[in-house]
Amino acid sequence: MVTSLLLAKKLEEDGVRSFTAKEKMTLALGALLHDIGKATIDKNITNKPGKLTDEEFAEMKKHPIHGKVLIRRLRPALETVFGDAVDMNIVEQIVGSHHLRPDGKGYGIDPGVDPIPKKINEIHKALSKESSVEGNIKVTNSGAIIYEHDGKSKTIYGTSKKDDEVVTETSMKTFMAGIENEMSRLCEKKQFVDKLDIHDLVWIVGMADAFDAMISDRSYRLGMHPTKVLKIIEEEKGKQFYAPFVDSFKKIIVDYPIGSIVLFRDGNVGIVTEAEKSGGKCEIVASLFGDIDVVGEERKFTAEEVFIGTRRVNELENALQEKAKPLEGEKIVLAAKDELENFISASINSETLEEILFKIRPDPVFEGSREAFTKSMREEEIER
């Protein structure tokens, strides 16, 4: 939700789009509830520690449709709380369409499509207004639907006659589950029209949701670094992401978040302590070129000074391997804080790092801590 609201604020600042108070409230509620449909997905799928199979992913992709149905159940209660301060039609769009794309791809349900028959909508809407899901539902031979709870009887749909016979009786919960399953099934059969007509608040939530998904860790993969994600968003401009909003979105994402790792072009390694758009502050915790004097210092930096940025130390190995250009510095000697003696060696395979460092500079020394640094310097003096 926060990312969506930050984007809306930046769009206003950039003069791209202005928002009414009602649109802001609608965006906030839609962003908060956008994944509510996942509550209906099998927990063995949503909580699976590994990567989903094709069949499981196909089931997961139904969550926007299930969410649209759930919002219709919650709509009476939400309208009671928010009144005219929120546009529930747009909230329903956000929930049902946030995985659709401007290029017509993706999944979910186009808001221009409503394959649910009027009768089912009316029954569902009437039952959704009830304050309890307890009680029973009776269906008569004339088609009337009667809700009974706490000794009281109420005709929800149709007209109940004296000589009516009850042909079906079930619990309120079972009846609602059955009708909502049918609503979802009908939506799955017809999800799109020829041309998407989607409110642009949906594109805001969709972009924020995609960004959060890419930077988040999964059990089967680590989240991406923001700089890499921003490159993907730029590449997908006008395809996966709504083109008029991309430039403003890129401005609200910091390149190097607090707690992330930065390896500078001078060989110093820092942990970011303060984040700005294209830079920030960090504490230097190690130096690949043996600059022991800078270890422990605070450094203000810009993106131009950064050679590699990673979200954590154990990602440095892959990031170094992907870099084609070498670092600029002298002989490779690792200097690090005393308590971070194994800062690099515990995070990167020693053979891999040695191979990388040899490519950057000849005769690297791969040892950690002040003692190792002092030892390597002493050996050099003896050789002289």
Which tens digit of pLDDT belongs to each residue from 71-95? Answer: 999 999 999 999 999 999 999 999 9
Q: Where are the domains of the chain?
A: 2-113+191-252, 118-188, 261-383
pLDDT mean over 136-140: 92
Q: Give the pLDDT score at 339.
A: 47
Distance in angstroms (rounded) separating the CA atoms of residues 223 and 216: 4
Confidence band, pLDDT 50/70/90 cuts, at residue 48: confident
Name the residue among 84, 90, 50, 85 with its Cα closest to residue 68: 90
Q: Give the pLDDT score at 99.
A: 93
What are the residues facing 170 on neighbouring strands? Answer: 137
Distance in angstroms (rounded) separating the CA atoms of residues 71 and 54: 27
Under 8 Å between Cβ of 54 and 172:
no
| pLDDT for residue 373 is more than 80 | no
pLDDT mean over 274-297: 85
3 state DSSP class of 357? helix
Kind plus residue range of the DSSP H or E element containing 46? helix 43-46
Q: Give the pLDDT score at 217.
A: 81
Fold classification of 2-113+191-252 (topology level)? Hypothetical protein af1432 (1.10.3210)
How many residues can be counted in the chain? 384
Task: Name the pTM for this structure.
Answer: 0.75
pLDDT mean over 186-191: 73
Q: Give the pLDDT score at 377.
A: 45
Q: Which residue has the tokens 């950057």?
A: 360
Q: Give the pLDDT score at 325.
A: 61
